[in-house]
Structure 1
Amino acid sequence: MRTFLILTVDGVTNGFVYAAVALALVMIWRATRVINYAQGAFGMFTTFIALYAISHGVTYWLAFVVALGCGFMLGAGIERLLVRPVESRPPLNVVILTLGLLIFLEALAPMLFGGQVKSFPAPFSRVDLAIGSTQLFISPYDIFVVGAVLVTMVALLLFFQRTSIGLRMRAAAFGPEIARLLGVRVGRMLMLGWGLAAVLGALAGLLIAPAIFLYPNNMDEVLVFGFTGAILGGLDSPVGAVAGGLVVGLGLSYVGGYGGSDLETVGGLIILIAVLMVRPHGLFAARRQREA
């Protein structure tokens, strides 16, 4: 029972990190109808920026804000300079571009920050809490991760459903020509979507770094599991992204804990294949259709 509780808490914590990546993918998909395979690299690069700031005397929270701001500028700048010239081309062009960005950022990071594995500080203790002699198997930092992702999910829901900018962004993604006729500045909306998605990627990088350390390709596996969670929950649903991330996190934790860590990646692949075969539009597909 003790092992099960430990694996469950680990799975929930990791699942919320995967959910943060899944939310970033949902953000970019809802805003631009594009899957950004460099999303993890955005998170890695901005986390290196935060670590650089911290190592030069900046407080953690200021470095946190700086990383999110740099993420926005990185995403918006890439959309304006690189994505926009090919956005009217076949969709495969953008996919290849994001893969190229992944390789470029993972090559640039060690040139600027060094290729060594580095530790990243946590704003709260990672020691498990206890009530008397009863250990809870959850740390203050775990609570922070869960709370940060839940707040992000709610903010994303409200943004797309309750704000005029969110509605214009979705209109620009689904029908750019019609949106232009209605006075929507499609280019600005797409740039904003890329920028906000990069902010979410930066958040995921900051949340996972204290647990897995920081190095140029530390987000590759996290991106795969986050993508699995996004597909599982539905690429158009923030709630589904969080639910999918949790399912993936718990599944991988149980597989790794009881079957060995070597089987975790296989477990993620099995989950992805099962969802694509049984419910390819995600668990929240029917709900999305009703809302539409």
Structure 2
Amino acid sequence: MELFLNRISDGLSNGATYALIAMALVMIFKATTLINFAQGEFAMFGGFIALVLATEQGIPMWGAVFGSMVITAVCAAGIERTLIRPFDPSDHLPLVIITLGLFLGINALAGIIWRFDPRAFPELFPSGNALTYGTATLSWYTVGTLVTIAVVSGGLTLLLNKTKIGLAFRAVSSNLESSELVGIKVGPTLQFGWAIAAAVGTLGVCVFVASPFRQLEPNVMVTGLIFAVSAAALGGLDSLGGAIVGGLAIGLVQSIAVPYLGIPSELSLLAAVVVLMLVLLFKPSGLFGTPQVERV
């Protein structure tokens, strides 16, 4: 039982970080019906910026994370304006190729600047355990990740429902053509979505690598992005709440189902891929996504 509780704790902490990245993917998908394959690399680059701000500039850790979120948001907004907006949003092939190119380019750029040697990331939460039950423990890191995802999801909900730009974003994500007809500036609104997604993704990577068992390096999100995409697909690609549920579910599957089924830890990524395939096969809209309706 105590081992089981420990696995639940690990699954929740992993799932919360997957959920943060999944929420960033959902923000892009809601606006463009497109998966941004460069989302994980945006976030990874932001993690390196936070590390530089903290270790080389002496900025307090959470201040460095916030600063990197702002920087990556500005960069993502610039990329959307220069590389994404000139193309027809209804033609996905050029946009997919661009995001794949950004994935490779950002990864290579990070390797050139910081090399591929893993680096320890400063802790964001207190060390030690918040609760102890026999040999089972609930670390402050797990508590911190769950509190972070609650704050982010609450903030995004307020932003999308209580602000003018948030309401415009919801209108564009609901019907792009009708939004143009009522005077909403679609380009800047989509740019806002890219910026918010980059900021949330950066926070997710910073929390992910702040674990004592992980380190920051350019390939840190290559596999993490697959877990996040699986989480977003499971919860529903247009549902922020679904991204949270999907992320926690994927984290628990990775931490509990994989070892108890006797699957080697090296194949834990395969479990996420299997979940993704099952979702796409039996419920393409996800648990909380909006089913696509076509006129006939």
TM-score grouping bracket, smaller chain normalisation: over 0.9
The answer to whether the 8 A contact 2:24-2:39 is kept is yes
TM-score, length-scaled by structure 1 = 0.92
Residue 11 (structure 1) aligned with residue 11 (structure 2): yes
Secondary structure (helix, strand or coil) at the match of 1:85 reads coil
Task: Report how far residue 254 of structure 1 moved.
Answer: 1.4
The structure-2 alpha-carbon separation of the partners of 1:286 and 1:196, relative to structure 1 and needing over 3 Å to count, comes to: closer
Task: Report how far residue 247 of structure 1 moved.
Answer: 0.7
Secondary structure (helix, strand or coil) at the match of 1:129 reads strand
> 2:275 matched to which residue of 1?
271
Using the alignment, how far apart are the partners of 1:13 and 1:216 within structure 2?
A: 22
The answer to whether the 8 A contact 1:29-1:236 is kept is yes
The answer to whether the 8 A contact 2:38-2:102 is kept is yes
Using the alignment, how far apart are the partners of 2:24 and 2:35 within structure 1?
A: 10
1:250 pairs, out of 245, 248, 252, with 252
TM-score, length-scaled by structure 2 = 0.91
Task: Report how far residue 175 of structure 1 moved.
Answer: 3.3
Using the alignment, how far apart are the partners of 1:71 and 1:135 within structure 2?
A: 41
The answer to whether the 8 A contact 1:15-1:248 is kept is yes
Using the alignment, how far apart are the partners of 2:159 and 2:233 within structure 1?
A: 21
> 1:121 matched to which residue of 2?
122
Per-residue deviation, residues 213-254 of structure 1 (Å, max 9, x unmatched): 101010111111011010000011111110011110000111
Per-residue deviation, residues 8-40 of structure 1 (Å, max 9, x unmatched): 110011001110011001111123332111110
Within 5 A, what are the aligned runs for 1:1-292? 1-56=1-56, 57-88=58-89, 90-130=91-131, 134=134, 137-211=137-211, 212-258=214-260, 259=262, 260-285=264-289
**Range 83-92 or range 21-30, more displaced:** 83-92
The answer to whether the 8 A contact 2:2-2:136 is kept is no
**Range 225-234 or range 165-174, more displaced:** 165-174
Using the alignment, how far apart are the partners of 1:179 and 1:287 within structure 2?
A: 21
The answer to whether the 8 A contact 1:71-1:202 is kept is yes
Per-residue deviation, residues 151-173 of structure 1 (Å, max 9, x unmatched): 11122223323333222113224
Q: Which has the higher helix share?
A: 1
The answer to whether the 8 A contact 1:129-1:135 is kept is no
Structure 1 stretches lacking a partner, 5+ long: none
Secondary structure (helix, strand or coil) at the match of 2:85 reads helix
Letter in 2 for 1:43: A
**Range 278-287 or range 39-48, more displaced:** 278-287
RMSD in angstroms over aligned alpha carbons? 2.0
The structure-2 alpha-carbon separation of the partners of 1:237 and 1:73, relative to structure 1 and needing over 3 Å to count, comes to: same
Secondary structure (helix, strand or coil) at the match of 2:16 reads helix
Task: Report how far residue 115 of structure 1 moved.
Answer: 1.9
Task: Report how far residue 2 of structure 1 moved.
Answer: 1.6
Using the alignment, how far apart are the partners of 1:120 and 1:243 within structure 2?
A: 27
Task: Report how far residue 47 of structure 1 moved.
Answer: 0.5
The answer to whether the 8 A contact 1:21-1:40 is kept is yes
Runs of 4+ aligned structure 1 residues displaced above 4 Å come to 133-136, 286-289
Task: Report how far residue 255 of structure 1 moved.
Answer: 3.5
Q: Number of residue pairs matched?
A: 288
Letter in 2 for 1:266: L
The answer to whether the 8 A contact 2:18-2:227 is kept is yes
Per-residue deviation, residues 243-291 of structure 1 (Å, max 9, x unmatched): 01111000011144332302311211221112122211111136999xx
Using the alignment, how far apart are the partners of 2:88 and 2:135 within structure 1?
A: 53
Using the alignment, how far apart are the partners of 1:59 and 1:161 within structure 2?
A: 32
The answer to whether the 8 A contact 1:128-1:135 is kept is no
Secondary structure (helix, strand or coil) at the match of 2:247 reads helix
The structure-2 alpha-carbon separation of the partners of 1:30 and 1:285, relative to structure 1 and needing over 3 Å to count, comes to: closer
